[in-house]
Amino acid sequence: MRILVAGGTGAVGRRLVPMLVAAGHDVTGLGRSPGRLELLRATGARALAADVLDASALRRVVADAAPDVVVHQLTDLSAAVPADNGRVRREGTRNLVDAALAAGVRRMLAQSISWAYAPGEGPAEEPVPLDVDAPGPRASMVGSVAALEAAVAEVETHVVLRYGILYGPGTWYAPDGAVAAALAGRPDAPPFLGSLRPGPDVSSFLHVDDAARAAVAALEWPSGPVNVVDDEPAAGRDWLPVLSGALGVPAPAPVDDAERTPWARGASNALARARGWAPRWGSWREGFPAMTATPGAGDAGGAGGPGSAGGPGGAGGSIPAGGRERTAAEARA
């Protein structure tokens, strides 16, 4: 198939593009950074520069690539500014869908998140509605997710991959990432979004290689949203000490929050498993330590998984350098 990966130079895209090339597809990666695009070319893919916020330029690039499938792996979280990411979700996705439809594309996959569900008990399954009535900053984040998912649904066959918090090479949870710097108390720690509160709030994690493998599998899936998360949704008080130990940084002191934030419930991967995908890293318990077991391993993209090193990663907390810790409810974008 001819496949266009928008966000091909990103944390997931860099792992996904070589997998698609290895599977025999004709792959074009899209991004902005010339250096990152050059790395994509070295994997055997074509690489094109375009800003997805420039609708007419994007339309030309997509028409030239003439893809059978468009894969959306775009995010704009490098500065951890939720409004930037919201703009890419709303305007960037709108432009990409318009360009895809104009080019006659009939199948699209898109990256979404698994923590935008409405409050409830236990890990959320896909029929749970998005938390569109959420108060405060979460309303804006959930609204942008809903806009992304609605736009993608205009394409004849559309699969929305609701990823867990990403960890592994190139993510905030990598040994060289923002989370390790924040946990180490480094004053120059870059900002990230999420929560490092060792309390009852539950998250679902996902290794970037498992995220990429799900996108390959989803080329054959029917329309609709699918949670792509590991097997063990977990409370911060359980996963944070394991992450801290893996990163070799101090574990934050447990907090005694009495109540879980009602939406912080994790997600179930039963549907993705029923479609034949299974995480190689079934739990962060093995995945976090593997990030540092073989330093540098897995950074070139590709397999990962138990026995093959993989990398650190994740997405989520929010401790702007020198700032107070935000709660999960405030922070995640």
Window 6 to 45, contacts with ligand NAP (CB under 6 A): 7-11, 13, 31-33, 36
- Count of alpha carbons within 13 angstroms of residue 231, beta-carbon side: 11
The least distance separating ligand NAP from the CB of residue 256, rounded to whole angstroms, comes to 27
Candidates 74-82, 95-103, 119-127, 297-305 — which segment interacts with ligand NAP by CB under 6 A? 74-82
The residues, any chain, with a CB within 8 Å of residue 321's CB and separated by 6 or more, are 181, 182, 186, 187, 188, 189, 190, 191
Residue 22 and residue 216: Cα distance in Å, rounded?
11
| 52 binding ligand NAP? (CB under 6 A) | yes
Question: What 8-state DSSP symbol labels residue 125?
Answer: P
| 71 binding ligand NAP? (CB under 6 A) | no
Burial letters for 249-282: b for 16+ Cβ neighbours within 10 Å, e otherwise?
bebbeeeebeebbebbbbbbbebbeebebebbbb
Contact with ligand NAP (CB under 6 A) among 65, 70, 113, 152: 113
The least distance separating ligand NAP from the CB of residue 56, rounded to whole angstroms, comes to 14
The least distance separating ligand NAP from the CB of residue 269, rounded to whole angstroms, comes to 14
Candidates 20-28, 120-128, 284-292, 311-319 — which segment interacts with ligand NAP by CB under 6 A? 311-319
- Of 171 and 244, the one with the shorter C-beta distance to ligand NAP is 171
Residue 37 and residue 58: Cα distance in Å, rounded?
16
Cβ atoms of 13 and 19 within 8 Å: the answer is: no
Cβ atoms of 264 and 197 within 8 Å: the answer is: no
The least distance separating ligand NAP from the CB of residue 36, rounded to whole angstroms, comes to 4
| 328 binding ligand NAP? (CB under 6 A) | no
The site string for ligand NAP over 151-170 (x = CB under 6 A, - otherwise) reads ------------x-xx---x
CA dihedral of 134, 137, 143, 145, whole degrees rounded to 10: -110
Look-up: residue for tokens 């432009």? 95
Positions in the binding site for ligand NAP (CB under 6 A):
7-11, 13, 31-33, 36, 51-53, 74-78, 88, 92, 113, 163, 165-166, 170-172, 314-316
